[in-house]
Amino acid sequence: MLNSLIFDMDGVLLDSMNSHADAWIQVSREWGVDVCRDDIYEIEGANHVLGLQWLFQRAGMELSPEHYGPILARKVEIFSSIACIRPFEGTGDCLDKLKACFNLAVVTGSERVTVTRLLDEFFPGIFDVVVCGDDVARGKPFPDPYLKAVEMLGVCKEECIVIENAPMGVEAAKNAGLFCVGIPTYVAADKLSKADIVLDGHPSLHKYLLRMLP
- pLDDT value, residue 46: 78
Please provide the CATH number assigned to the domain covering 4-16+85-210: 3.40.50.1000
Query: pLDDT tens per residue, the chain (214 residues)?
Result: 899 999 999 999 999 888 888 999 999 999 999 888 888 887 887 777 888 888 888 888 888 899 999 998 998 899 888 868 899 999 999 999 999 999 999 999 988 988 999 999 999 999 999 999 889 989 999 999 999 999 999 999 999 999 999 999 999 999 999 999 999 998 899 999 999 999 999 999 999 999 999 8
- pLDDT value, residue 19: 87
- pLDDT value, residue 120: 97
- pLDDT value, residue 145: 97
- pLDDT value, residue 37: 87
Q: Considering only CA atoms, which of 93, 95, 87 is closest in space to residue 5? A: 95
Return residue ranges of the chain for CATH 1.10.150.240. 17-82
pTM assigned to the model: 0.89
- pLDDT value, residue 102: 98
- pLDDT value, residue 17: 85
Cβ proximity of 28 and 182 under 8 Å: no
- pLDDT value, residue 25: 92
Strands (E), the chain: 4-7, 103-107, 129-131, 160-164, 179-182, 197-198
- pLDDT value, residue 86: 93
Provide DSSP, 91-147. HHHHHHHHHTTSEEEEE-SS-HHHHHHHHHHHSTT--SEEE-GGGSSS-BTSSHHHH
User: Domain 17-82, what fold?
Assistant: DNA polymerase; domain 1 (1.10.150)
- pLDDT value, residue 63: 86
- pLDDT value, residue 55: 86
Return residue ranges of the chain for CATH 3.40.50.1000. 4-16+85-210
